[in-house]
Amino acid sequence: MAQTQNSKTDLGGRFTLPGTSLTLNRLGYGAMQLAGPGVFGPPRDKDGALAVLREAVSLGVDHIDTSDFYGPHVTNRIIREALHPYPAELTIVTKIGARRGEDKSWPAALSKAELTSAVHDNLRNLGLDALDVVNLRMSAGHHHPVDGPIEEPLDTLVELKQRGLVRNIGLSHVTAGQVQAARAITEIVCV
């Protein structure tokens, strides 16, 4: 089917995040690869990265999955440069709970200070006053979820939500037990 310049592509239907008024297309844009090789440093083609984001939104992508540890800080700055001020219908979903080492590693960053700093980094680099959805990533540095306590890091994220810096909380790279424990603490809008 031919697209007209201003038409929107069907992106797999729409769904509403539980407990929210956020209704999104099933297909969003994962911004991880906007950073350089190995998700580290600047992209080889920054103008191309900016163009991809603008085209994705023009075709109907209404949510972007990102993190300030991509780059680090690179991906969110590219998103801001390409799309700020953001269209009202765009939802940005970010994640915290890891950082990037100078050796390109992905160490966990789950202390209260690290999580609070990560939320502020995301806000600053995206140019936002509040984050629509923040996913707490629990298994940084691992290729699979690793069971462990979720209560303390999640309590920090709940506190940041109460302060108005985070609107909704999700989880990333977690076990079924961590999902169950998290749901006993707060509403989880996505996993």
Q: Which residues are catalytic?
A: 70
Pairwise CA distance, residues 133 & 49, whole Å: 23
- At position 121, the amino acid (one-letter code) is D
CA distances from 26 to 11, 33, 171 (A): 6, 20, 17
Neighbours of 12 (CB within 10 A): 10
Give the tokens for residue 114: 């690290």
Pairwise CA distance, residues 25 & 36, whole Å: 27
Neighbours of 93 (CB within 10 A): 25
- Range list of β-strands (E), the chain: 14-16, 23-25, 29-30, 63-67, 91-96, 131-137, 166-172
Neighbours of 105 (CB within 10 A): 12
Is the separation of the CB atoms in 174 and 150 below 8 Å?
yes
Is the separation of the CB atoms in 51 and 81 below 8 Å?
no
